[in-house]
Amino acid sequence: MTRTLFHSGRVFDGTGSPIAQADVVIEDGRIVDVGAGLDGDVGVDASGLTLLPGLFDCHVHVTGSGLDLPTRLEQPFSYQFYAAMANLAATLDCGITTARDAEGADLGVQLALERGLIQGPRLQISISMISQTGGHGDGWRASGNHFLYGLPYPGRPDGIADGPDEVRRKVRELLRAGAEVIKVCTTGGVLSPRDDPRHRQFSPEELAVIVEEAAAQGRAVMAHATSPAGVKNAVRAGARSIEHGTILDDASIEMMVEAGTWLVPTLSAGHSLLAMADQGMRISPNALAKAREMTGVHRESVARAYAAGVKIAMGTDSGVTPHGENLLELRLMHEAGMKPEDVLAAATSSSAGLLGVADDRGTIAPGKRADLVLVDRDPYDLADLKSAIVAVYQDGARVRG
């Protein structure tokens, strides 16, 4: 096998340790050595460059392409899958080599990636998000019409369920369809038409059943939760991560620290929603009002969670926000008070821990997959890290640059 040597550059290993001068050797898609004075069969001159582990985005919607409802209503059903190809490619352009889809992508999208039919990050899928009637995932409108985030079909079951028996069956349907993580809405949301982000959704009994059924097949639960009541219920039930965490009080933060629950902030969501509205995109007035109310509070919540020691993983809500702008989240995390090294660790080793793949990727260390990103400036400068990307590697193969 050919040994490829990245030499004369610097390395951020993903743990948050200081950037250091080092060589990296990869062979057969894996990292085999990290250190000084190494050798290889083929050399990559990394002079003036820094090598990072492949980045993660733990909250994307690859079949979604924005919030313009009239445009989406005019698109044929199958358009979303062709759009997903472009969205996945745009995500890979950002140096993101692993992602978790938070609703939308089905087993077919994942298999197309795994078998090389399309190119993009490795994808962990949730397929549909479980929501109560009238909850964040219920697309019922006051007109009587329904507009869901994604229409159900054989590969993507409808996510609406009420009561312990129905939610148990819904988890089983999603697992049967190939879900690797179960997503549940424990509060209202910004974009949903008839609920309030501050209100809790699903009872503790329903949430306990969801977590129990997922755990029975070795799967974790990710909880859309934007307010303390929903966060607390999700943590008590055993959810592995809180998505958004828009409003966090001291008690919910303390519970997350004690339980080891991850926070996936998705600061990009509110930021980009307001930016798109300013640019003239047609957005529901109700959703826009909720976004304006929540954006500043969200940043404060993330700052307090970080200061308290909550584990943080990177996620953007791309699909709601534009694909290909994923690394904006890094800048927003830094602006919320996170140190640059901790931001990069959140996008690498911490995200790998959340997704349960830390033994396989997320750091630059012997035995890990050779998912790597080369950048041509100090990676702690997070203002526009995407523009600094020189090359992206998956399993040692150069896929960008």
138 and 39 in a common domain? no
Given this model, what pLDDT does residue 97 score? 98
250 and 158 in a common domain? yes
342 and 276 in a common domain? yes
106 and 241 in a common domain? yes
pLDDT at residue 227 above 70? Answer: yes
Given this model, what pLDDT does residue 220 score? 98
Query: What integer is the mean pLDDT of 380-384?
Result: 96
Range of the domain at 376: 3-53+361-400
pLDDT at residue 340 above 90? Answer: yes
Hey, which bits of 211-364 come out as E strands? 220-225, 241-244, 262-264, 311-312
**Contact predicate 278/218, CB 8 Å:** no
230 and 117 in a common domain? yes
87 and 9 in a common domain? no
Please enumerate in sequence order all residues whose Cβ is within 8 A of that of 54, keeping only pairs 6 or more positions apart, or say none.
95, 96, 97, 98, 348, 361, 369, 371, 372, 373, 392, 393, 394
User: With bands split at pLDDT 50, 70 and 90, how would you rate the model's confidence at 72?
Assistant: confident
**Coil, helix or strand at residue 17:** coil
Q: What is the pLDDT of residues 143-159, one digit of tens each?
A: 776 666 678 999 999 99
222 and 145 in a common domain? yes
Question: Where is the domain boundary, 323, 340, 355?
Answer: 355
Given this model, what pLDDT does residue 17 score? 92
Given this model, what pLDDT does residue 13 score? 98
Give the residue among 363, 376, 301 at the shortest CA–CA distance from 98. Answer: 363
100 and 36 in a common domain? no
Query: What integer is the mean pLDDT of 205-219?
Result: 98
Active site residues: 183, 317
**How many other C-beta atoms lie within 10 A of the C-beta of residue 399?**
17
Question: Where is the domain boundary, 355, 374, 390?
Answer: 355
Instruction: Kindly list the distances between the CA atom of residue 176 and the CA atoms of 145, 180, 214, 248, in Å, as whole numbers in the listed order.
Output: 29, 10, 11, 34
222 phi and psi angles, rounded to 5 deg: -110, 130
Given this model, what pLDDT does residue 173 score? 98
35 and 60 in a common domain? no
Q: What is the mean pLDDT of the chain?
A: 94
Given this model, what pLDDT does residue 276 score? 72
% of the chain residues with pLDDT over 70: 98
User: Domain count of the chain?
Assistant: 2
Which residue did the predictor score with more confidence, 253 or 276?
Answer: 253
pLDDT at residue 193 above 80? Answer: no
pLDDT at residue 312 above 70? Answer: yes
312 and 340 in a common domain? yes
Cα torsion angle, 344, 348, 354, 359, sign:
negative
CATH number at residue 318: 3.20.20.140
Q: What is the pLDDT of residues 125-149, one digit of tens each?
A: 999 999 999 888 887 777 776 666 6
92 and 204 in a common domain? yes
Given this model, what pLDDT does residue 145 score? 67
69 and 125 in a common domain? yes
User: With bands split at pLDDT 50, 70 and 90, how would you rate the model's confidence at 70?
Assistant: confident
CATH number at residue 378: 2.30.40.10
191-200, 211-220, 323-332, 367-376, range with the lowest pLDDT: 191-200
Given this model, what pLDDT does residue 63 score? 96
